[in-house]
Structure 1
Amino acid sequence: MDGLKHADIGAWKYIEEQRHAYFDKMQVWDYTGLGYTRYNAKDVDQDILGCVVENKVLQSSQLSCFQESDLQKTIYPARLNSMDMLPSSSLTGLGEVPSTTDLFMRGRLAKLELSDGNNVYAKLVVGADGSKSRVRELAGIKTTGWNYSQNAIICTVEHSVENFTAWQRFLPNGPIALLPIGDKFSNIVWTMDPTEASDRKTMSEDDFIKAVNDALDYGYGPHPETTTSSPGGLSWLTGDVTISGKERFETPPKVVKLSSERMMFPLSLKHAKDYVSKRVALVGDSAHTVHPLAGQGVNLGFADASALSKAIAEGIALGTDIGETNLLKRYEAERKPANIAMMAVLDGIQKMYAVNFGPLNAFRAAAFHGAHYISPLKKRIISYASGDQSLPLFS
């Protein structure tokens, strides 16, 4: 969750009035007992690594910010039926003060026909309507990608103690994440094959809680063995032990109650071939969807929105038509390479954990240990996760 961008637009004060959770630690490990790493805010001289905010809180906070602003605004609670763009035409033969229809006929506006019968005209249409984007479809922008043979189960759970750590464990069929959202509550994002997901969604609450606790503890395999330096070289220690006198593997807090319904959705990788066309720009899931294993999908969308806002502001300052493709291409040029790089990293990790193979398990363990013990790499990963840097391995 990129709090800085929400602070910039004035939405953060509304978020802080609702449920949210700052976290200062992240722990990532795998079911083989070979791979483990832990990140602390203090490693980069920070008090926190990030903040987890529920989608409904984000939406209500942004809406409150928008409604209380001095901006002229109209909200249409309707679906988009059609979108028309006319090519630019000659300016002759029209009045000195052209009407909205005149500007549309000149190709200076997009025309949106809504399901409630209203027509809306705009210099720029921003498609922020998700992975099944109607704006993208009507603009004729194609996508590439594939479906993963995985579904995700998401829900809210309750603990007997407060949680201040973001946890993720890689299991044979996909990762499970436990993310604090405030008080004694956390969100679960659990990836698995579709058959298992259907079973997890319909099983009793008690059985589901037991399965979650099992997945976050000794289920599927042992706790990681962690290494510490000693005068004689490397010594191997198991369980809740101190690493170099400073860090230790910890077991996540037990789940005691299911606090929401369980939702299930299929996972896919999808990328728009173009982010922009004349008078149209795509942001977030409308332009790209990624595997949720690192929780970066929404942050990529925030970065898109920030970059597009910057391009629009530059266009207004220069007196440029904000719907012109040449202006919008600046946004695409900034975001497309960064998004493709992140998609490649996440897809690679997903594929690497889709196979249980001895040599590959050892390679994954080495990657974990590098992320844990190589200080510069660890700091860059933390800086990226907390939103301070771009991709740690590609900048």
Structure 2
Amino acid sequence: IKHLQNTDFQKTIYPSRLTSMAILPSSSSTGVDKTSSAKVSYHRGQLAKLELSDGESLYAKLVVGADGGKSQVRELAGFKITGWNYYQNAVICTVEHSVENHCAWQRFLPSGPIALLPISDKFSNIVWTMNPNELDCKMNEDDFVKALNHALDYGYGPHPKSGVLGSADIFSWFRGDVTMSANECFEVPPKVVKLASERMVFPLSLKHANDYVAKRTVLVGDAAHTVHPLAGQGVNMGFGDASALSRIIADGIAVGTDIGEISLLKKYEAESKLANVMMMAVLEGFQKAYSVDFGPLNVLRAAAFRGAHHVSPLGRIIISFASGQLRLPFFS
């Protein structure tokens, strides 16, 4: 891990790995301030001690575990997790398009969703969910790009047509007169011309820490929870954690509270855990719904999403909630 320590508003980078972590017993000791090389006296019982692989030791009032789904901080601090594997893999890479792309796309295929997420101009990130038996790591770049465009262009089936439940007409009474052709119901993402990075493969799983906080330690982001990438909500959940924690720490500092105290950190846990569990339940519902390929259910799914799209207020609420701009009343 690259460990960051804030000292007098400056960041010090420690490229070594974290090997152990402990909360020191209360005692007054003399230590060395690395920034000034001067000896200072402090109460180590008020600090967490972190030992790095190069033999150096760090002391902090609060350790924030933001080191991903395989969090070393979480493991060393003894946090327990609950979860399960999806027995699917995510293929992740960066691609270049023939034209600029400023829109995020997601296509639901029989094996799982494929997402196209713009990052700049003609470049996007790909997150492609596959079953292990479909994953061909030996596929060359040209064949992979062809398979990618085939998937994004809905090559697994015919393009949607206007129909009984696929038509915008049945939703027109929500928003006045609606005119939409079959071609307007379906758009094709911009073509991928080549890979711009190596392909990486990650096993997918759902994990959730039973607790987010312990004395002088707190978990945020993937260290606290990992979800299926089908709706791209993992990063938004992490941003929500960071926002809640920073606000609660600022409130604590304003009234002179020790930022590593459990009583303060529990406020963060209460707020973020409820929001995250609710979002995880929604995402798990999506994952289960889209893992079943059954004709009538497919039609109902399509109708539900088209309904949300055409009922403007509902669509705005869903988008705001998914982007983290809106939380349900009981999260605040």
| TM class, shorter-length | 0.7 to 0.9
Could you tell me which residue of structure 2 aligns to residue 207 of structure 1?
Answer: 143
SS of match in other structure, 2:201 = strand
Q: Which has the higher contact order (CA 8 A, sep 6+)?
A: 1
Output the aligned Cα RMSD: 3.1
Alignment length (residue pairs): 315
5+ residue gaps, structure 2, are 32-38
CA distance in 2, matches of 1:235, 1:73: 55
1:340 is displaced (CA, Å) by 0.6
1:112 pairs with 2:55: no
* 1:279-307 Cα shifts (integer Å, max 9, x gaps): 10001111000111111111211111111
What are the within-5 Å matches in structure 2 for residues 249-268 of structure 1? Answer: 249-268=186-205
Contact 2:168/2:306 (<8 A) preserved: no
Could you tell me which residue of structure 1 aligns to residue 81 of structure 2?
Answer: 143
TM-score of the superposed pair, with normalisation by structure 1: 0.73
Cα gap change, 1:95 to 1:77, in 2 (>3 Å): closer
Contact 1:315/1:322 (<8 A) preserved: yes
CA distance in 2, matches of 1:351, 1:101: 56
1:284 pairs with 2:232: no
SS of match in other structure, 1:161 = coil
What are the within-5 Å matches in structure 2 for residues 58-73 of structure 1? Answer: 71-73=9-11
Choose the corresponding residue for 1:327, options 249, 257, 264: 264
* 1:299-321 Cα shifts (integer Å, max 9, x gaps): 21111111111111111111111
1:305 pairs with 2:242: yes
CA distance in 1, matches of 2:245, 2:194: 42
1:256 is displaced (CA, Å) by 1.6
Contact 1:223/1:239 (<8 A) preserved: no
Contact 2:96/2:123 (<8 A) preserved: yes
Contact 1:141/1:274 (<8 A) preserved: yes
Could you tell me which residue of structure 2 aligns to residue 56 of structure 1?
Answer: none
Could you tell me which residue of structure 2 aligns to residue 76 of structure 1?
Answer: 14
Contact 2:102/2:121 (<8 A) preserved: no
SS of match in other structure, 1:229 = helix
Could you tell me which residue of structure 2 aligns to residue 9 of structure 1?
Answer: none
Equivalent AA in structure 2 for residue 295 of structure 1 = G
* 1:46-90 Cα shifts (integer Å, max 9, x gaps): xxxxxxxxxxxxx9xxx9xx99x9604432211111111145x5x
Could you tell me which residue of structure 1 aligns to residue 183 of structure 2?
Answer: 240
Identical positions, percent = 69
Cα gap change, 1:194 to 1:113, in 2 (>3 Å): same
CA distance in 1, matches of 2:70, 2:40: 30
1:165 is displaced (CA, Å) by 1.4
Choose the corresponding residue for 1:171, options 106, 109, 112: 109
| Poorly superposed stretches of 4+, deviation over 3 Å | 94-97, 99-102, 232-239, 391-395
Could you tell me which residue of structure 2 aligns to residue 28 of structure 1?
Answer: none
What are the within-5 Å matches in structure 2 for residues 1-395 of structure 1? Answer: 71-86=9-24, 89=26, 103-104=43-44, 107-197=45-135, 199=136, 201-226=137-162, 227-229=167-169, 239-241=182-184, 248-390=185-327
Could you tell me which residue of structure 2 aligns to residue 3 of structure 1?
Answer: none
CA distance in 1, matches of 2:285, 2:78: 29
5+ residue gaps, structure 1, are 1-58, 242-247
1:360 is displaced (CA, Å) by 1.7
1:390 is displaced (CA, Å) by 2.2
